[in-house]
A and B are shown apart, each in its own frame.
Chain A
């Protein structure tokens, strides 16, 4: 018993058995599709439901969707949203967000704000790279958020679609608010889908 064990050990040592074992794994992986990919040279394909950077969206006619209703601020569990709303000077009686801030360092990417938004002005994108030398740039203001929205419009729309919030463009028109006109000015015709 002892002898056979000894011979086996000697043979293993002579033939570098451990190395063969290790090489086996190596060779096996040579024909395996690699799991690690070369970030940032390679980018991961993300699902449509991915909760990345928040963005503000516009309608197709370039009008801001956000009506400054502040429901996102109310829904936010980490309190990273601040909305300052006011009456639009150019379009009286219309509410809009004159300022809009998201402190993305505080954001927990829960997506509640998107869910709360009654006009689908907020959406999440597939953008997740926030690294910066200046932490102050992580306080996203309104301009930055609309900028993200413009650059990642397709992703944002896919996100809303995937979360059953906005099925298609035509339907999204129904979310739009038609503010009443002042008696001081001629009234505009009622919107088509309400008429």
Chain B
């Protein structure tokens, strides 16, 4: 049918008037009659309708009477037209709907007692509502159950052929993994080509299935809806901050459901601009790490050569005594700390307060240092805002999106759905520039494959093309003529031919990308791991901001340079000041007024303004023996950083290493004390997602074993060290943050930020810009090491935490295989599973290979979640001079047949 949304940001649809049940109703032209009726608050039953996709019209429940027609009409597929007179109630309609229910029930098995959807089934509800008690004829389909997929079971006996699963998969998620197939005399939903299901496994088909035809393999038969407690909380896997419902039975997490379900179908289509409420595979099926049997349940202390279980009291006494000893003997700067951005805002705030007030040191860092801080620093410098200026709605309604160096479908699947929505509904032009054939590239209007590591050069090319094509926004550039001249001079040496030759992106592509970006009314650049986690990330983000500036996109509504974050609370870590350079609220640590303010609020003398160390510096000082004690919360530097950073040597040198984690990590095995912490399902708090929305995290189950929330442990530690902290719950900490940062807790709405464009452009810009575009000669070592190895995230995992989720490991186990382009494999004469020798400047190892057509020729990929084999140790590390961000995801390698 293709009923388009009534309005989009560009065109206002005409208003029409019609009458529903005798009342005049105004609506926008072009929408479905069903939407108009439901917007008046009336709910008419419909089993195949959902507002996220176009109406399908198979269930025959949404019948209404239209004056002038003899038979009832299906309101979902009928377009609302001016002057329609509609009746939605009446005995005739009730009987007609009842007939439709009976029709569905006559081929539906009455196996409700064993069906997982029992109690959450639309057909069941309709049968009750319409009083269906007897069926004239009933037929059993006796279709065998499809159990081939690792995640979902398809019981097509129960299917009512509403096609919601097919539609949501095809239209909303653009995966298109399901289809109808006539088999055994019945129309059945089968995975594409009647093979085992192989898709993104987001499970949105499961969520929208109004009956129990699609069931979740991980919680099959384990529950009935009335047995479970539902807790709405925020997902702990990526920066999207999706809301999800953890359904628990006592101390066990049974399943995860999304706000998207057949039940939330009554809405207005504009809802989809802010997210359709679905989840990705990690959120929906990766919950098993929470009650995993390998969770730490008791504190451990190193006695002799072993970690021994001890009671909390003994552990805390020991930890506090040792910290106090070291502080007394060697001064406060003998202690440092690291925290993960998977902690809540409250805990991140408390961590930096603990370090600065109890330990009196400024040597600590969070995992935002792995990349997000590149973006924050660049954006703060140029625009004065330390986060992405765009929210999901901006992405959905954008006309042009440049996705640069981001495999967004894999890293942030739900942000990717926003871009898909932009492509599908608002017909946005999407340029995907990446060194691999990403999923988004397959959907985008302008996919561009570039050579790995040349993202910076591409940006220079785009700026050059913009200047050459005269796509300059006169208003923005005229305000700062000096800055503009400086920029022109800085890129004078760039030639498009050279850029094209080095990057592999043709001049035509550069020109058309520049034109698409400059000419669209709302254009967004989305840069992620390919920019911020690579060397020169800080400068490259600044270059992107330059591009946005000269095309007049800075500060315009719906425009900007944005990023996505890999961990749920990287933005929160920066906002809460869990970085040596920042106070909470991103006030500079060296700023005297901020120092006075926070010093007074915390009633302490703060560490000296210039002091402090970030991640790389901390590890260096550990190695030099300057830092003697390290407090690690949830971080696992040993498994994350390549061995060239000598993490093991650094940790070995420590006198006292405390690791606080839900799991016994590699770093934890080296520790002197290990404190069991809770996962986010067992504590209250908030996350700040990539849009800057503050989202609640709620306690779904009691802490597993004797584990405690991180804030609780930190409070106890501070008190043991002689401070008087009186936090009894995370609410108390929240109250303190609210006083210090008024307006930070913004009730789930993204805070609108206005970039200050002019400050940087009018002072300091001209001096900086020449250095930014200094010709970077591509390295000539290409012939020796022809392959480019990159490590990155895959869809089914997030960091190392997801490897403890049994379900995700079942979907995507560690194959230990390097992914390569089939053509390269042919050239090397290796087949799937064959061993190759991988050599980089730092070493060499043997690894099996696997063909993957989405990997570009001359590149190879290994997922960063697994260290078996330790491919990460081949990676060289480059530390950004300005932001201290270590980048270690890219290396040049040689591959030989082993």
* Closest beta carbon of chain B to A76's beta carbon, Å: 11
A73 contacts B227, C-beta separation under 8 Å: yes
A48 on the B face (CB < 8 A): no
* Closest beta carbon of chain A to B849's beta carbon, Å: 30
Interface residue from B145, B222, B224 paired with A180 (Cβ < 8 Å): B145
B144 contacts A183, C-beta separation under 8 Å: yes
Interface residue from B119, B147, B148, B222 paired with A85 (Cβ < 8 Å): B222
B221 contacts A86, C-beta separation under 8 Å: yes
The docked-state distance in angstroms from the alpha carbon of A95 to that of B140 is: 19
The docked-state distance in angstroms from the alpha carbon of A125 to that of B222 is: 29
A181 on the B face (CB < 8 A): yes
B145 contacts A181, C-beta separation under 8 Å: yes
A182 on the B face (CB < 8 A): yes
* Closest beta carbon of chain B to A63's beta carbon, Å: 14
Q: Which chain A positions have C-beta within 8 A of B112?
A: 69, 118
A68 contacts B140, C-beta separation under 8 Å: no
The docked-state distance in angstroms from the alpha carbon of A70 to that of B147 is: 24
B224 contacts A182, C-beta separation under 8 Å: no
B251 on the A face (CB < 8 A): no
* Closest beta carbon of chain B to A97's beta carbon, Å: 10
B221 contacts A187, C-beta separation under 8 Å: no
* Closest beta carbon of chain B to A18's beta carbon, Å: 67
- Known contacts A85-B221, A87-B221; A177/B144 CB under 8 A: no
Interface residue from A70, A87, A177, A194 paired with B224 (Cβ < 8 Å): A70
B146 on the A face (CB < 8 A): yes
**A151-195 toward B: CB 8 Å interface, digit per residue (1/0)?**
000000000000000000000000001011111100100100010
A74 on the B face (CB < 8 A): yes
A184 contacts B221, C-beta separation under 8 Å: no
- Known contacts A73-B227, A74-B226, A85-B222; A182/B145 CB under 8 A: yes
The docked-state distance in angstroms from the alpha carbon of A67 to that of B118 is: 13
A183 contacts B147, C-beta separation under 8 Å: yes
Chain A's closest residue to B154 (CB) is A183
B142 on the A face (CB < 8 A): yes
Chain B's closest residue to A71 (CB) is B113
The docked-state distance in angstroms from the alpha carbon of A67 to that of B114 is: 7
Q: Which chain A positions have C-beta within 8 A of B113?
A: 67, 69, 71, 118-119, 177
* Closest beta carbon of chain A to B700's beta carbon, Å: 19
A93 on the B face (CB < 8 A): yes
Q: Which chain B positions have C-beta within 8 A of A118?
A: 112-113
Q: Which chain A positions have C-beta within 8 A of B362?
A: none
B221 contacts A68, C-beta separation under 8 Å: yes
The docked-state distance in angstroms from the alpha carbon of A87 to that of B157 is: 18
B274 on the A face (CB < 8 A): no
Q: Which chain B positions have C-beta within 8 A of A183?
A: 144-148
B114 contacts A194, C-beta separation under 8 Å: no
A-B pair number, CB within 8 angstroms:
63
A182 contacts B140, C-beta separation under 8 Å: no
Q: Which chain B positions have C-beta within 8 A of A95?
A: 114, 221
The docked-state distance in angstroms from the alpha carbon of A180 to that of B148 is: 14
**A11-48 toward B: CB 8 Å interface, digit per residue (1/0)?**
00000000000000000000000000000000000000
B220 on the A face (CB < 8 A): yes
Complex interface residues of chain B between 130 and 149 (CB less than 8 A to chain A): 140, 142-148
- Known contacts A69-B113, A69-B118, A118-B113; A74/B224 CB under 8 A: yes
B155 on the A face (CB < 8 A): yes
B723 on the A face (CB < 8 A): no
**A114-151 toward B: CB 8 Å interface, digit per residue (1/0)?**
00001100000000000000000000000000000000
Majority DSSP secondary structure for residues of B touching A: loop
Q: Which chain A positions have C-beta within 8 A of B145?
A: 93, 180-183
* Closest beta carbon of chain A to B697's beta carbon, Å: 28
Chain A's closest residue to B223 (CB) is A85
- Known contacts A181-B144, A183-B145, A194-B140; A86/B114 CB under 8 A: no
The docked-state distance in angstroms from the alpha carbon of A73 to that of B155 is: 26
**B194-235 toward A: CB 8 Å interface, digit per residue (1/0)?**
000000000000000000000000001111101100000000
Chain B's closest residue to A93 (CB) is B145
What is the total number of residues of chain A having a CB less than 8 Å from a CB of chain B?
Answer: 25
B111 on the A face (CB < 8 A): yes
* Closest beta carbon of chain B to A90's beta carbon, Å: 14
Chain B's closest residue to A88 (CB) is B221
Q: Which chain A positions have C-beta within 8 A of B148?
A: 183-184
- Known contacts A73-B227, A85-B222; A180/B114 CB under 8 A: no
Query: Which residue, B111, B155, B157, has most C-beta atoms of chain A within 10 A?
Result: B111
The docked-state distance in angstroms from the alpha carbon of A156 to that of B145 is: 35
Chain B's closest residue to A70 (CB) is B224
The docked-state distance in angstroms from the alpha carbon of A184 to that of B148 is: 7
Complex interface residues of chain A between 54 and 74 (CB less than 8 A to chain B): 67-71, 73-74
Interface residue from A67, A119, A184 paired with B147 (Cβ < 8 Å): A184
Chain B's closest residue to A92 (CB) is B147
B221 contacts A182, C-beta separation under 8 Å: no
The docked-state distance in angstroms from the alpha carbon of A67 to that of B110 is: 14
**A84-109 toward B: CB 8 Å interface, digit per residue (1/0)?**
01110000110100000000000000
* Closest beta carbon of chain A to B119's beta carbon, Å: 8
Q: Which chain B positions have C-beta within 8 A of A119?
A: 113
The docked-state distance in angstroms from the alpha carbon of A16 to that of B145 is: 90
Q: Which chain B positions have C-beta within 8 A of A93?
A: 145, 147
The docked-state distance in angstroms from the alpha carbon of A181 to that of B222 is: 19
Q: Which chain A positions have C-beta within 8 A of B111?
A: 177
B221 contacts A180, C-beta separation under 8 Å: no
* Closest beta carbon of chain B to A2's beta carbon, Å: 82
- Known contacts A70-B227, A85-B221; A177/B114 CB under 8 A: yes
* Closest beta carbon of chain B to A43's beta carbon, Å: 36
Q: Which chain B positions have C-beta within 8 A of A70?
A: 224, 226-227
* Closest beta carbon of chain B to A39's beta carbon, Å: 40
- Known contacts A69-B224, A74-B224; A182/B114 CB under 8 A: no
Q: Which chain A positions have C-beta within 8 A of B142?
A: 180, 190, 194
Given A68-B221, A71-B113, A180-B143, 20 new contacts (CB under 8 A): A67-B113, A67-B114, A68-B114, A70-B227, A73-B226, A73-B227, A74-B226, A85-B221, A85-B224, A86-B221, A87-B220, A92-B147, A119-B113, A177-B114, A179-B114, A180-B142, A182-B147, A183-B144, A183-B147, A187-B144
The chain A residues found within 8 Å of chain B, CB to CB, are 67-71, 73-74, 85-87, 92-93, 95, 118-119, 177, 179-184, 187, 190, 194
Q: 6 smallest A-B Cβ distances: which pairs?
A: A69-B113, A95-B221, A180-B145, A70-B224, A182-B147, A95-B114
Listed A/B pairs (21) with beta-carbon separation below 8 Å: A68-B114, A68-B221, A69-B112, A70-B224, A70-B227, A73-B224, A85-B223, A85-B224, A86-B222, A87-B220, A118-B112, A119-B113, A177-B113, A179-B114, A180-B142, A182-B144, A183-B145, A184-B147, A187-B144, A194-B140, A194-B142
